[in-house]
Amino acid sequence: MKRKTQSRTNVFGVSLVLVVVLAFHGCSRQKGPKIEGAEGAPVVLISIDTLRSDRLPVYGYDQVETPNLDAFARDAITFERVYSHTPLTLPSHASILSGTLPDHHEVRDNVGYYVPEDLVGFLPRDLAVAGYETGAAVSAYVLRGETGIANGFDFFEDDIRFQEGVAGGALSRRGDETLSSARDWLRSVAAERFFFFFHLYEPHLPWEAPEPYASRFEDPYDAEVAAADAVVGELIAELKELEVYSKAIIIVLSDHGEGLRSHGYMEHGFFLYREDIQVPLLLKLPKQQQGGTRRTADAQLVDLYPTIAGLVGLPVDESLPGCSLLMLPECGGPDRIVYSESFYARLHFGWSDLASLVQGKYHYIDGPEPELYDLEEDPLETTNILREQRRVYGALNERLEEFNRQLEPPMEIDEETRSRLEALGYLGSSQRDLEGPLPDPKSEFQALQELNEARNFLDAGEFEQAATIARQVVEANPRMIDAWDVLGNALEQQGKLDGALEAYRQGMEVSGPRSEVILAISRVQLELGRVEEAVAGIEAARQAGVINPNSMRRIGLQLVEWGRTEEALSIVEEAAEDGTAESLAALGRVLSEMDRQQDAIDTLNRSLGVDPDNARAYEYLGLVYLRLGESAQSRGYSERAVELDPSLADAWNNLGAALYFLGRPEEALQAWEAAVEQDPSQYETLFNIGIKAPELGRLDQARVALRRFIETAPARRYAADIEEAQRILRQLGG
């Protein structure tokens, strides 16, 4: 075999080598070469989320220190050009573990898609069948086990607690916490054959590296990379202490890159430039064989499955698209192409999906405005050479037809899952049926920045500004579902309920029925006093099956506020058939509203039997015992609720009432102020402060609370109380 090489320096690593294979036959991609000690060896897969290869010293970057990865690279093979198949966490990990492309496993997004159980290959499942102990620990909600990514794992640690009202960090955890959660399992299997998948979320946003890294590095992304390096060092130290490191196969890689404004976008998901899809990959063989060497041929993340399977002695199905990394560059030959795709813009904004092929030095990105780049001459992809290289464009465009880009619509997700994914930065709404030509994400990108601006105003309570910007966005992008949702929310917060109702309905016309929007529409209808319309709409949604238990229990609790307890009971009883602590807690609350206090206590205790730390169950028990006149018990349950979740405004309100009845008015006022701080729409709490603060001589505190109540409480619901508050305020000279 003869090879011809040409080398140049590039920003994504050391030398960029274009390898042209002139002739090769007889590649056995299933097995690869025999490696001493590999068959039956322990396997450790370390995935560092959102890590660009060109931001590591191993690949030539000098603005961050990663001593642990540097040392590991001396024991490993460094692959210089490795590509992800999609710049999204869940679908990328589906490809890593299955060895299949997204057009096969059909996980096209983080939202509404699940890893199927019947894939040809799935690493944890196949290793388990071969006698391996299989374990995983993940650092982000997007990789929770219920997505199907846990298939085949004996141990899967994804205990990432969600707290409503807490920023996105509540839906991910630091890598050292994730490692701590898996140490006992790792130690228990150290003497066995085992597979350990370890996922770190740093350097994914939010960039909040701990000290000393936050102060040491000016760039917060670099600080997160350094923090990830430290955790990798901890894991390697543990493996060495367990006498596993030397005999193990260990892989360090990333699922995708990060924009970092290289093409104007800070994050990932929309585009397929190199900063989005080129990732690091380091492979350590048993006894550190071939350590310190580098491979320059194009590799892809689907190569991981045949690599590991071949090393440990598992068969590899011929239909899989990958090659053993140890057979590169021969395996695949001169025509090898690497496929990547992103449906993110299409699913969430109604813009076009994108696909790309890397072949040798060329990178072709297909979309309404196709692009072609020469990676050797232009590694930063600044000059589109499609017009000059029409033959290359034509050939790659033809090869792209080999891949299935037919999109199966996403499945419905509940509004709690949606809100959690949004807190991590992943948009939750999805387009379903889109036809005709769609705009290129590059040309519409300004709309995303405007939407983010509207969201920021919404989060800051500046609802008028949020509505103004969101309206501009939907006028220019009527298929942008999330913009309709922001507009509806902003109008609702301003009390412009008819406009909010119309915005929610417009968004649902684009997306089809969505549980969270049905909930929003019913909420607005109830505020407008259209109770029968709200109930009829909810019932129709139930019959159509688009409201799931999470939505049903929230709607049931909302109906309780309007005294529709019979309808509420029917809904939450159906929701509680799922047996979850959350649904049982909601049922307990409704039973309490129906004055079935003992039934409520029994149901809430059942909820705590499922989850002893369910804060809502404690909140509702505090309410039940308050209604029973047992203030001491109410105080205990309410204190436990706010200890578990300080954001529970109603629990603070209950605590205040219990303390007041226990003759502790000072502490009661403190609890009520905490309730209002957590939720400014705690109208009853404002009223309580207004009428009770004067008893302690706190007239200014009472006046402030009464004014806020009069100005903000919905007149339809609180007309009599507002009139009473005005009377008291006049008496206080307010």
Q: How remote is the C-alpha of 288 from its chain's centroid?
A: 35
List beta partners, residue 202: none
pLDDT score recorded for residue 552:
77
CB under 8 Å to 459, separation ≥6 — which residues? none
In this structure, the number of other CB atoms found within 10 A of the CB of residue 708 comes to: 19
pLDDT score recorded for residue 98:
95
CATH architecture of 3-338: 3-Layer(aba) Sandwich (3.40)
33-70 residues labelled b (16+ CB within 10 A) or e (exposed): eebeebeebbbbbbbbbbbbbbbbbbbbbeebbbebbe
By CB neighbour count within 10 A (0-12 exposed, 13-18 middle, 19+ buried), where does 128 fall? Answer: middle
**Residue for token pair 């696909």:** 355
Distance between CA atoms of residues 675 and 652, nearest Å: 5
pLDDT score recorded for residue 547:
66
Distance between CA atoms of residues 110 and 41, nearest Å: 32
Provide φ and ψ at 157, rounded to 5°.
-100, 110
Per the structure block, which two tokens stand in for 128? 């388990």
Q: Where are the domains of the chain?
A: 3-338, 680-734
pLDDT score recorded for residue 527:
77
State the DSSP code for 252. E
Helices and strands (H and E) in the chain: how many = 29, 15
**Residue for token pair 């993110």:** 344
pLDDT along the chain (734 residues), means of 10: 32 37 36 84 96 95 95 97 95 96 91 88 95 95 89 91 40 88 95 96 86 91 95 97 96 93 79 95 96 94 96 92 91 84 86 93 94 95 94 94 84 53 43 64 82 85 92 88 90 90 89 76 82 79 69 80 85 88 93 95 96 94 96 96 93 95 94 91 90 90 91 83 91 82
In single-letter form, the type of residue at position 52 comes to: R
* DSSP character string of 494-542: TT-HHHHHHHHHHHHHHH---HHHHHHHHHHHHHTT-HHHHHHHHHHHH
Give the angle subtended at the CA of 236 by the CAs of 232 and 240, to the nearest 5°: 170
Q: How remote is the C-alpha of 668 from its chain's centroid?
A: 38
Distance between CA atoms of residues 157 and 111, nearest Å: 21
Asked if 94 and 102 touch (Cβ cutoff 8 Å), the reply is yes
Nearest alpha-carbon partner for 651 in 663, 635, 662: 635
Cα→Cα distances 27→108, 319, 387, 429, Å: 31, 15, 36, 45
pLDDT score recorded for residue 298:
93
Distance between CA atoms of residues 463 and 455, nearest Å: 10
pLDDT score recorded for residue 427:
44
By CB neighbour count within 10 A (0-12 exposed, 13-18 middle, 19+ buried), where does 162 fall? Answer: middle
By CB neighbour count within 10 A (0-12 exposed, 13-18 middle, 19+ buried), where does 562 fall? Answer: middle
pLDDT score recorded for residue 546:
62
Distance between CA atoms of residues 427 and 481, nearest Å: 10
Give the angle subtended at the CA of 67 by the CAs of 35 and 8, to the nearest 5°: 70
Is the pTM here over 0.75, yes or no? no
619-658 residues labelled b (16+ CB within 10 A) or e (exposed): bbbbbbbbeeeebebbbbbbbbbbebbbbbbbbbbbbbbb
Per the structure block, which two tokens stand in for 414? 């509940």
Give the angle subtended at the CA of 573 by the CAs of 567 and 578, to the nearest 5°: 140
| Angle between helical axes of 531-544 and 549-561 (0-180°, round to 10) | 170
Distance between CA atoms of residues 675 and 686, nearest Å: 9
List beta partners, residue 7: 17
Asked if 378 and 8 touch (Cβ cutoff 8 Å), the reply is no
Strands (E), 108-168: 133-137, 155-157
Nearest alpha-carbon partner for 314 in 69, 593, 553, 125: 125
